[in-house]
Amino acid sequence: AVVSTQSTGTASTDKSDDKISKEIKIPNSNAGMVIGKKAAVINEIRNFSNCKVLIAKDSEVADDLRVIQITGTPRDVHLADYLITAVQQMPRDLSQAIAR
Q: For 5-49, what is each residue's pLDDT tens digit?
A: 455 544 444 456 799 999 999 999 999 999 999 999 999 999 999
**Is the Cβ–Cβ distance between 84 and 94 less than 8 Å?**
no
Residue 95 to residue 100: CA distance in whole angstroms: 9
CA distance 68 to 81: 9
Query: Which percentage of the chain shows pLDDT scores above 70?
Result: 75
Q: Which of 73, 81, 64 is nearest to 24 (CA)?
A: 81
